Structure 1
Amino acid sequence: MDLMDVNGEASASNLSSAMSTELSSNALSGTVRAPALHSHTVIVHTEYDISAPPPLPGPEWTRFVCISDTHSRQFAVPEGDVLLHSGDLTNSGTYNGFRSTIEWLADLPHPHKIIIAGNHDLPLDQNDDWYEKNWERWHWPEKEDVSMIKELLQGELATSANILYLEDQKYEFRVKEGGRLWSVYGSPWSPDFYNWAFNYERGLQAEKIVSSIPKTDILLTHGPPFGILDETITHEQVGCETLAMRLATTLRPRLHVFGHIHEAHGALIQEWDADGQGRAHGERTVFVNAANWPMGPRARPAPGESRIQFGERPFQPVIVDLLD
């Protein structure tokens, strides 16, 4: 596999180690760090002038704008065809937090806005009555009204603003009339993290959830795969091994957007090797950790400069232009 890397803390050697340990694919080679990544089918921008973003290469391209871990904050977002949000819409899943986020997203100009939940969006996890069993940890003395929150995500305000909430669901859409039919799958899950929302145990439970992900052009997950833009401040790789395996051997989407590990914000373009199962060398996946909450060494301002805010360099929304 050939790898190009921009901005994220994860390195080619990290990903190579993960893949060579877990997968029967060849080692990675070559790492390039730059403000943008290019191939003949994809262009990625992680840092740019927000007042004058790079132009779309041409009419045969589609612009995806990737954000995540916004935690009810608001900031400047470049225009594009599709806005993708990979979860942690709020800080703790309150109604007011969701309302603030949905109203902000509704005001953005993107014709398509596709969102998922994350581990902080607590009331949305209704699996095995998780929120019913755990709400007092965060929302004592009053439980949040899940039906009112769902109305925010799926009601008139959201639908009139072309906001689509996915929870273990696939959706197909066209950006241009008569153009390419894009498919996207959204999953809010991530490996166990102190029993927050949408957590799963590594191993059998991870296999059950990850195996349900279908082939798709665009994959949204809240948590990263193991070894891919998943390194924490303490230099631990905390992504999902099962997801990394399935991405390399079966899924191979054109674009995989996630967040959760704020300090690993960045992007990779990965070219897959042939795997002997009919998938040829040359398939590419763009991996984007779109977390906009500044954290880690890159979040420290230079002497004399002000604190880096949500969505500011080097934690801007990531622009991904894909050739149709």
Structure 2
Amino acid sequence: MNMKFLCTSDLHGVIPTEMKNVVKRINPDGILYAGDYAPHVWDEGKLEEVLEFIVSLHVPVYSVFGNMDPEKEYFESFEKNHENFHFIHAKRVKVGDLFIVGVGDYYSDPFSIEKFENLVKQSPENTIVVSHYPPYGVLDMTTTGENAGKIELKNVLDKYRPLVFLCGHIHESAGISKIGRTTVINTAMKLLLLEVENGQVHASLA
């Protein structure tokens, strides 16, 4: 089965109006959002504008929250009122032949890395991870030359090699890399097309 996803993150209160045309052109099976809707910590005004815009595209949205966003209860409430919005932090959902596992800002939530690992290891070869933070040493270089990714996430990546690891957070390191069989995508402030067909992954600017 061929699955297509439009990926983005870290919009920080900016509504990407070009997204409408991209969705019409590529007709994705879903939108994967790796966190940080808000422009500043807990700025719910602009955050809600971005959320409402994205769900108005009438495509299933699979999302985690970022370190600039409100706590998970905000997104759980939003999910209840929007049929096509799926808050996947600490969850594993099936989409077609694939599984999507979400891990957002786990520092603000008691959700453990052990639980995340248990979700990934069930079927890593068919799993897309949607994480706010990048794994340590992969697409995580800051402007000061430091690696700002998370070692806990890199350990899970190294151990189980999920099909795709999607992240954001470090804006200046947006891009695509390959670690073994895993395609790692930092989609911060970008619109990227992710295609998966018969276990083969292709990622490009949308």
- Aligned partners of 2:116 and 2:187: how far apart in 1? 20
Secondary structure in 1 matching 2:144: coil
Larger Rg: 1
Q: Counterpart in 2 of 1:70?
A: 11
- State the shift of 1:123 in Å: 3.3
Secondary structure in 2 matching 1:219: strand
- State the shift of 1:254 in Å: 1.3
Secondary structure in 2 matching 1:268: strand
Residue 258 in structure 1 maps to residue 155 in structure 2 = no
Q: Which of 91, 99, 120 is 1:214 aligned to? A: 120
TM-score, structure 2 normalization:
0.80
- Aligned partners of 1:244 and 1:95: how far apart in 2? 31
Kept in 2: contact 1:70–1:89 (CA 8 A): yes
- State the shift of 1:263 in Å: 0.4
Q: Which runs of 4+ in 1 moved over 6 A?
A: none
Q: Which of 36, 48, 52 is 1:88 aligned to? A: 36
CA RMSD in angstroms comes to 2.4
Q: Which of 143, 156, 164 is 2:86 aligned to? A: 164
Instruction: Looking at secondary structure, tell me which structure has more strand per residue.
Output: 2
- Aligned partners of 1:210 and 1:246: how far apart in 2? 9
Unaligned 5+ residue runs, structure 2?
199-206
- Aligned partners of 2:120 and 2:146: how far apart in 1? 29
Residue 289 in structure 1 maps to residue 186 in structure 2 = yes
Percent identical across equivalent pairs?
23
Give aligned pairs, total. 186
Secondary structure in 2 matching 1:62: strand
Kept in 2: contact 1:119–1:199 (CA 8 A): no
Residue 268 in structure 1 maps to residue 177 in structure 2 = yes
Secondary structure in 2 matching 1:63: strand
Instruction: Provide, for residues 117-160 of structure 1, a one-character-per-residue CA deviation record: whole Å limited to 9, x for no partner.
Output: 01011333x7xxxxxxxxxxxxxxxxxxx5xx643x2123x21x
Residue 318 in structure 1 maps to residue 175 in structure 2 = no
Secondary structure in 1 matching 2:172: helix
Kept in 1: contact 2:71–2:108 (CA 8 A): no
- State the shift of 1:290 in Å: 0.5
Residue 249 in structure 1 maps to residue 159 in structure 2 = yes
Matches within 5 A, 1:40-55: none
- Aligned partners of 1:266 and 1:221: how far apart in 2? 15
Secondary structure in 2 matching 1:101: helix
